[in-house]
Homo-oligomer: A and B are copies of this chain.
Amino acid sequence: MMSKDNKPVLKADGTISLNDLEKNEYYEVNVSRRVDFGVFVDINGNIQALIRNDNLNGNKKVGEKLVGEIIKIDKNKNEVDMTEVGMNKYETKEKSKEINLSLVKEITSENAGELFKVRGEVIGVKTTGGPTIFTLTDGTGWTWAASMDSPGSRAHPHISAGDVIEVKGEVSLHQGNPQIETASMEKLRGNKSTEFRERMNEELEKRTEIEEVNFLADHSVLEKLENRMKNVAKEIKKAIHAGRPILIRHHADADGYVSGLAIEKAILPILKETSPDPDARWHYIKRRPSKAPYYELTDVLKDLIFAREDKMKFEEKMPLIVVVDNGSTEEDIPALKRLVEVYGLDVVVIDHHDPHVVEGEAPVDEYLKAHVNPYLKGGDSNLTAGMLSTEVACLINPEIKDQIKHMPAIAGKGDHSKYEGYIKHAVDKGLEEDELDKIAEVVDYESYHWKFNDGKGIIEDILMLGTLNRHRKLVNISWEELDEEKKRTKRAILPHVKEKTFSNGIKFNTLDVESYAPKFEYPAPGKICGMVHDELEEDSTVTLSYGPDFCVVRASEEMSELGFDLNKIITEIREDKPETGINGGGHEYAGSIKFFQGERDKVLKDLAKRIANL
């Protein structure tokens, strides 16, 4: 609808400056201040005009809208005069400068002072004491749109993380970085949004291309896993570039810590480069150790609750979940179902626990964006999660290779891996082989005491990712203590071990850890079982340490030739004697079993009988 004079009523957006105004144009304006001689009105956030009392129809309130006609423009004095046009009903026409759409990466500090228009996905919103800062990306880079509503308040409250927006405004420099002083900000919907997301995804694909593959070790399974490893690396890189937080979940043992730290170390420098926010490392990346050898319900529910709270509180996107040294087995499925099916999160896994592959596929695969596991390509758990994660870390960020290349050897020692292809890299960095053992044990010992904290600030020193001097002191001090403690424990428990040799020649050692070992102290029952086993092992030995309702089992390598498979035995007993409540498992030759306390004797006798009859 035109005004009574058939002139359009214009509404100037933030791209309009004094130079764009013309005499006799009509504008919708807002009263901003009343003075003795008239009122000042805002044409937009940049231009103020004066309407003198003579040119006003009656009193005006601050905030009132009216239509004004431009009657004088003085560019030198930066002054505009208007006269009120009495109109009740009218439609407005947006007056805006035509600006071409640019890519985010095209905005550089050299463009300061120029008008730009870009589209991007909002990846963060920060309310400051001054303007609200929207961080956005279109996949080609990040930029910031500063939007001042009134100082300290959240501008554009209807726009939040995950939305696609179009921003126009002048580029200014903020801390040397270009930033858009928002003249207008609009949420895109429907087709515009879909098209944008497709293009953004293409850009991300390009930017996260893995160019160089140069494995640290020469293991045939690595090559077969190459594509899968690239996929995990790409998902992680895409998350960083797209401003998606990353949550790393890892098993709380030496192999798990190596896995988690390798990925974390690869991410941090890219994150720092991508996001100038010094707090990014606290918001965008979290690492949490898991007690159980799988992603327990307790852990996943905590992760979901925290992620949803962070999303609401800090205006973040929901995270990418990276599970390392866990995540591959059927026991992980309840967690994955909640993450993926219910809450639509993306999950990637690097693990070496047996995923029970059937026809090249693991049962967990249907929930995962990407999955690396040696069993998927004919390998086994000797290629540990820490080894695989370090390789993936180097794909993500090849520049950290020298910094982390000694870690797979530590992971291997922690998990008693027979694969020795990584030891040379540790030797390169001055670590003797017995030091690797010590470091792995120190990870166990220290992390046992800091419980399920992430150990940030200490674990780096243990794993030789920080100061060398500190690393050496900490490992020596800790090793001396734990070695002493193990020796003392061994002296006290060995007299209580019962040794027996079956007629088939298998040696069977048992220890009642409830009665003859320290409780709720380091070393834990699993560790004790290993210590006893290592001490008393001959060919074909099985060692079993038991409590009132559980036992831990370790078998010599030779036992597998005799057909010993712990998981199989557990399944058989469960079928024969369901009333024992038996449950558990692990590797073929090492694992733990739970049963009803009242059925302990029945379970242990049955177990012994099966071993004696191998």
Chain A residues engaging chain B, CB cutoff 8 angstroms: 33-34, 61-63, 109-110, 112-113, 127-130, 133, 149-154, 157, 173-175, 278-279, 282, 296-298, 301-302, 304-305, 307-309, 312-313, 334, 337-338, 341-343, 446, 449-451, 453-458, 461, 470, 473-474, 477, 481, 489, 491-493, 495-496, 512, 514-519, 549, 578-581, 583, 594, 596-599
Contact = CB atoms under 8 A, between A and B. Distances in A.
A516 B512 CA distance: 20
A173 B152 contact: no
Contact of A581 (B61, B149, B516): B516
Nearest to A299: B449
A496 B597 CA distance: 12
A128 B150 CA distance: 13
B308 A458 contact: yes
A138 to B, nearest CB: 23
Given A112-B63, A492-B581, A515 B450 contact: no
Contacts of A515: 596-599
Contacts of A583: 518
Contact of A113 (B62, B514, B549): B62
A583 to B, nearest CB: 8
A504 to B, nearest CB: 30
A282 B311 CA distance: 13
A549 to B, nearest CB: 6
B302 A457 contact: no
A516 B302 contact: no
Contacts of A157: 278
A167 to B, nearest CB: 19
Given A298-B451, A496-B598, A515-B598, 20 more contacts: A34-B113, A63-B173, A129-B129, A130-B151, A130-B152, A150-B173, A150-B175, A153-B175, A301-B453, A305-B450, A308-B456, A308-B457, A342-B474, A514-B598, A515-B599, A516-B581, A516-B599, A518-B583, A518-B596, A519-B597
A517 B583 CA distance: 12
Contacts of A580: 492
28 contacts: A33-B113, A62-B110, A63-B112, A128-B129, A129-B129, A154-B278, A279-B313, A296-B449, A301-B450, A301-B455, A301-B458, A305-B454, A305-B456, A308-B457, A308-B458, A309-B456, A312-B457, A334-B477, A338-B474, A341-B477, A343-B470, A489-B581, A492-B579, A515-B597, A515-B598, A516-B581, A517-B581, A518-B594
Contacts of A599: 515-516
Interface centre among A62, A110, A599 (most CB of B within 10 A): A62
A173 B62 CA distance: 9
Nearest to A282: B313
B130 A517 contact: no
B334 A481 contact: yes
Contacts of A153: 174-175
Nearest to A312: B457
Contacts of A342: 461, 470, 473-474, 477
A129 B112 contact: no
Nearest to A519: B549
A297 B112 CA distance: 55
Contacts of A63: 109-110, 112, 173
Contact of A338 (B278, B477, B519): B477
A581 B485 CA distance: 12
A130 B150 CA distance: 12
**Top-3 shortest CB links A-B:** A129-B129, A515-B598, A308-B457
Contact of A598 (B130, B491, B516): B516
A517 B596 contact: yes
Contacts of A455: 301, 305
Contacts of A489: 581
Nearest to A477: B337
A110 B61 contact: yes
Contacts of A597: 514-516, 519
A304 B512 CA distance: 36
Contacts of A581: 489, 492-493, 516-518
A284 to B, nearest CB: 14
A598 B512 contact: yes
Contacts of A296: 449
Contacts of A34: 113
A578 B519 contact: no
Contacts of A457: 304-305, 307-309, 312
Nearest to A518: B581
A596 B449 contact: no
Contacts of A175: 149-150, 153
A434 to B, nearest CB: 21
B305 A453 contact: yes
A174 B154 contact: no
Given A341-B473, A451-B298, A128 B110 contact: no
A302 B112 CA distance: 48
Contacts of A334: 477, 481
A496 B579 contact: yes
